[in-house]
Amino acid sequence: MLLEVEGLTKSYAGPDGPVPVLRGVDLSLAAGRTLALTGESGSGKSTLLHLVGGLDTADGGAIRLDGQEVSTLDDRGRAALRRGAVGVIFQQFNLIPSLDVAANIAFQARLAGTADRGRIDRLARALGLAGQMAKFPEQLSGGQQQRVAIARTLAARPRLVLADEPTGNLDEATSAAVLEELLALVAETGAALLMVTHSPALAARMERRLHLSRGRLA
């Protein structure tokens, strides 16, 4: 099993004491499979994604990626995890504004030491970005920016792709096109995809669906 999550808990500090966000979540995901995580706002979807991606630390429970315990990694270990094994696609794209498209796509792969010029060019062509490589993020549309974010993630060849509402900022037509490209490319690389989404239509495209409600999987 690529990803195993057991009894995961997480709280945030609130004005009246800790506010529990995750109350013991268990899930698993095999390599090459896709999983949709749905739930209402504040149900803990993004928090779960952040914990799995090594962006945050859990209060309790375990996260294993390829058998390696993630929740006990220190700052440096989690950074290495984010560079190599995991790729995160954000709703807000989170491109680096000071780098052009080509540098943005290559960035994570270069950090991980896995940059491959040919693969980057192929991804750019596949995502319709070949003519945009010298542009900066602020010169691109939302759809183009999200394609750059997808290309950046996939160029690093992560084993697990985490997508947090990847089409939430896009119109319907662009959203559909981007999703198709994402699914095709993930399938091609053999990575697993865990996608957080509000959209039932988007969730329906995944092999499995889980619903998170008030910090628990329903």
Partner 1 sequence: MTAAGLQALWSHWRRNPLQLFTLLAGLALATALWSGVQAINAEARASYAAAAATLGEGQFDQLVPRAGETMPQARFVALRRAGWLVSPVLEGELDRDGGDVRLVGLEPLTAPGGLGPVRPGAGGGDLADALGGGVVFAHPDTAARLAGLGPRVVADRGVAPGTAVADIGLAQRLLDLRGRISRLILAPGQPVGRPPLAEVAPDLVRRAAQGRAEVARLTDSFHLNLTAFGLLSFAVGIFIVHGTIGLAFEQRRGMVRTLRALGMPLRRLVMLMAAELALVALVAGGLGIALGYLVAAALLPDVAATLEGLYGAQVSGTLALRPAWWLSGLAIALGGTGLAAAGALWRIARMPILASARPRAWSMAAGRARRWQAAGAVGLLAVAGALAQWGGGLVSGFVLLGCLLLGAALALPLVLDPLLAAAQRGARRAVAEWFWADTRQQLPGLSLALMALLLAIAANVGVSTMVSSFRLTFTGFLDQRLAAELYVSAEDAQEAAALEAFLAPRARAVLPLLSVETRLAGRPAELMGARVGPTYARNWEFLAAEAPVWARVEAGEAVIVNEQLARRAGLWVGDDLAVGPGRRLPVAGVFGDYGNPVGQAIVGEDLFREMFPQVRATQFGVRSDDPDALRRALVAEFGLPRARIVDQARAKAASMRVFERTFTVTGALNVLTLAVAAFAILTSLLTLASMRLPQLAPAWALGLTRARLGRLELVRALVLAVLTAALALPLGLVLAWVLLAIVNVEAFGWRLPMHLFPVDYLRLGAFALLAAGIAALWPARRLARTPPSDLLKVFANER
- Site residues (vs partner 1, CB under 8 A): 12, 41, 46, 50, 53, 55-57, 75-76, 79-80, 82-84, 88, 90-92, 94-99, 103, 106-108, 110-112, 115, 138, 152, 164-165, 168
33 versus 65: smaller Cβ distance to partner 1 = 65
16 versus 138: smaller Cβ distance to partner 1 = 138
27 versus 93: smaller Cβ distance to partner 1 = 93
CA distance 118 to 49: 30
Tell me how far, at minimum, the Cβ of 198 lies from partner 1, in Å.
Answer: 9
CA diameter of the chain: 54
61 versus 77: smaller Cβ distance to partner 1 = 77
12 versus 172: smaller Cβ distance to partner 1 = 12
Question: CB-based contacts of 8: which residues, under 8 Å, 6+ apart?
Answer: 22, 24, 25, 26, 48, 51, 58, 60, 61, 62, 63, 71
Tell me how far, at minimum, the Cβ of 133 lies from partner 1, in Å.
Answer: 14
Tell me how far, at minimum, the Cβ of 31 lies from partner 1, in Å.
Answer: 21
CA distance 167 to 42: 19
Tell me how far, at minimum, the Cβ of 70 lies from partner 1, in Å.
Answer: 14
Tell me how far, at minimum, the Cβ of 103 lies from partner 1, in Å.
Answer: 6
Q: What φ, ψ does residue 57 adopt, rounded to 5°? A: -110, 145
31 versus 96: smaller Cβ distance to partner 1 = 96
- Picking from 170, 181, 160, 22, the residue whose alpha carbon sits closest to that of residue 91 is 170
Measure CA of the first residue to CA of the last residue in the chain; give whole Å: 22
Read off the tokens for 197.
């989404």
Q: Are 158 and 84 in contact (CB under 8 A)?
A: yes
- Pairing between strand 34-38 and 208-213? parallel
Tell me how far, at minimum, the Cβ of 98 lies from partner 1, in Å.
Answer: 4
